[in-house]
Structure 1
């Protein structure tokens, strides 16, 4: 592992601190210079790192600083747009202010009352004040409509209004700025219904799911396979080419509540990709032919925002077996379009940079209902099993980390009693047990007495008796027969 020298680390922290301080003081030119320098330093440092986890953390820091840098640029662009305007035509139109017809200005308003106040003097003074007063510039970028330069919708427009002036004046542009532009760029929906584009942008795109591997207990084999199939091609693009090209898609198979959706979000977070969370309702429309357009638009947007992770939950509801008696014509067209688009994504990966890849992650509780052609395109098929004994203990610790636990609670003993429980079942057990003390405390009290209780009176530790009572009420949700069906399917079609 490569360690950053302490002097350089201190310099990065100092530069980032100065950039923020100058931005708060309204000295945006100096702030831009410091932000450019610290982003370049982090970019060079990331190129030398060998530890993938450390590299991802530095890239996240670089992304945060790049977003701050873009906000400062947006504020400067807004201020420049104020200076370039001609307020004389708006504030004091000359044709109306200097009429010569005496019938317009009656005798009670003598002409000499108008002459000492020239039209141009207030405007010129205002321009001078804007130029010399940083405080006024800072207020101009405040709560007003044009001053919201930090918003995502205004930043691209602000950069256009400012043009290339800032880049030419500074003489250089930090290497991290390109990544910031990619993160903030807007998909051009020309040729598509604007409502469809807006709905996908609003409901699907998530650039920071903020779920990490450590947030998921157990499932080490699944994490290892997902790292190899999705994460490593992002970290080692030169290796994953040709026959080693990344997989077209990954299918996660397992009982409900085992953590398939959490794994998908962790993949998106660790890769730093844009995350599209797709369900059957997302790609369904009552208008003929519009569902196919949504599928095509989804993949077009995914290629635009690449690197991208498309997670299709409950994929059996979208792409069941074709040719069955209860299949509708519209459903068949949607399935065909999805298969075509997935083939297009796979073909693009053969020659393109893996950092521009579009990875399709799918999850299902009914793998035997999936269409054969889709199963072929989802080349990696991973089984997400019920948690092991160690996994159950870890899940109990994760779920109880926000509550006080009594000394008599034996997590290993509880883990033995909940064998066969899924991750979601274990979460329900912990939730119910943590509420047992509160139920005992409010028993027999009137509503007024309950409302009068303080928070400290309700903060009582969870005891072993609470778990004993809870386990008598909550049973496991996955049967042994279901587990046998999953294992039989994986034995026939698994690809781990």
Structure 2
């Protein structure tokens, strides 16, 4: 553009600036009697490079309510004023935007110092009323979100009293998991806590409930893991999930990692039907479990990570994993006393007829698991409702009130339920569990 054109543009801008100034002063005259002047800085004072000088914002594009000035007659610098824009641009050079390196970066996976400082700040910044947030620097944020959303549970809210019977298992879990958290100075050296605990037993005996009770009593963060959580269709993604899981567990320590149905994740290696991806996941899991360990003289007891595992098929577990799960506990079927306690817990929200004898019912449920007893209680509690709605039309059923359906459970209801529901654990399975515990048990 020729030089005389620049001079003409400059002159037009100066005229427009004078018009805007006049309009602003007119608007201010309606608000206060004191004259308010715009800054005395003229465009000529700072317009050294016309190519980067922005035009002023027209007054008609701003609502009158936003044009506010202090009563002292001094106009503060606005972010969008010409002078401020020129100063902002001048700080980065002649119209050149400031480089990204001048601004602090939130993530730099290649710089370990950034990750270390950021993680330290995240831990120091978490006060007592706040929950710590895992620093995902260097990790896939999608994987972190999956573990945060689907796995982390900071209060399972299951206590020992919610679990009937299993006194021996509770005692062993207190000694292996809970007491090291309560007495960290004692459990050091050769008395260090166990690396892992394996709970073995038939289905429905309360292994998951025991793990949640351990997490509640310890006050630890609870990770409930299944095979689907650590499985991905992308190559190498499952190993990353395993490693990320243990990294998050160390960050949220003290932590309890509960791996349910661990035989589906870490079965025997070297079999003909084993896939390469499955073998890599097992290897990563074994390496991470070796790196967890218990508290030693130099470790912080509050950073303990305990691995709990449960399985219905202990004979399918890899030998190396069995070695890392140092404490192996058998969770048996409930005894007669345990069955009475289970019946009482299951029926505490249901009205029971005076003729119901829980001891007699418990005697009839020999070799029933805890899940089987719960199913019988549920079925018996619905017998009265089934009799009440028999022969009624859908409209009449919807018209029934809650009080009409709240009828007590009778002894006859339990007898009908016992005839309909059989036990789910066979005698042959019980013999296999007892044989495995005699060979590999560690109670």
**Could you say which TM-score interval applies, normalised by the shorter chain?**
0.7 to 0.9
Quote the Cα distance in structure 1 between the aligned partners of 2:32 and 2:272: 89
Instruction: Decide whether aligned partners of structure 1 residues 179 and 246 sit closer, same or farther in structure 2, where only a CA change above 3 A counts.
Output: farther
Cα shift at 1:115: 4.7
Aligned to 2:128: 180
- TM normalised by structure 1 equals 0.66
Cα shift at 1:286: 0.7
Counterparts in 2 of 1:71-470, with a 5 A limit?
A: 100-101=18-19, 105=23, 112-113=29-30, 115-116=32-33, 119-121=68-70, 180=128, 184-346=131-293, 349=296, 351-470=298-417
Per-residue Cα deviation, 1:5-30 (whole angstroms, up to 9, x for no partner): xxxxxxxxxxxxxxxxxxxxxxxxxx
**Which segment drifts farther, 110-119 or 421-430?**
110-119
- TM normalised by structure 2 equals 0.74
Quote the Cα distance in structure 2 between the aligned partners of 1:330 and 1:236: 41
Quote the Cα distance in structure 2 between the aligned partners of 1:180 and 1:296: 28
Quote the Cα distance in structure 2 between the aligned partners of 1:269 and 1:348: 20
Conserved 8 A contact 1:295-1:338? yes
Q: Secondary structure at the match of 2:174?
A: helix
Cα shift at 1:349: 4.9
Quote the Cα distance in structure 2 between the aligned partners of 1:351 and 1:343: 17
Quote the Cα distance in structure 2 between the aligned partners of 1:110 and 1:412: 90
**Computing the radius of gyration over CA atoms, which structure comes out larger, 1 or 2?**
2
Aligned to 2:423: 476
Provide the aligned length of Structure 1 versus Structure 2. Answer: 344
Give the gaps of 5 or more residues in structure 1.
Answer: 1-97, 123-176
Q: CA RMSD in A?
A: 2.3
Structure 1 residue runs of 4 or more that deviate by more than 3 Å after TM superposition: 102-107, 109-112, 114-118, 347-351
Cα shift at 1:100: 4.2
Conserved 8 A contact 1:349-1:357? no
Q: Secondary structure at the match of 1:187?
A: coil
Per-residue Cα deviation, 1:128-150 (whole angstroms, up to 9, x for no partner): xxxxxxxxxxxxxxxxxxxxxxx
Cα shift at 1:222: 0.1
Give the gaps of 5 or more residues in structure 2.
Answer: 1-15, 37-67, 72-124
Q: Secondary structure at the match of 2:128?
A: helix
Quote the Cα distance in structure 1 between the aligned partners of 2:310 and 2:163: 16
Per-residue Cα deviation, 1:103-157 (whole angstroms, up to 9, x for no partner): 98499x77733555972459xxxxxxxxxxxxxxxxxxxxxxxxxxxxxxxxxxx
Instruction: Decide whether aligned partners of structure 1 residues 329 and 100 sit closer, same or farther in structure 2, where only a CA change above 3 A counts.
Output: same
Conserved 8 A contact 2:205-2:370? yes
Q: Which has the higher helix share?
A: 1
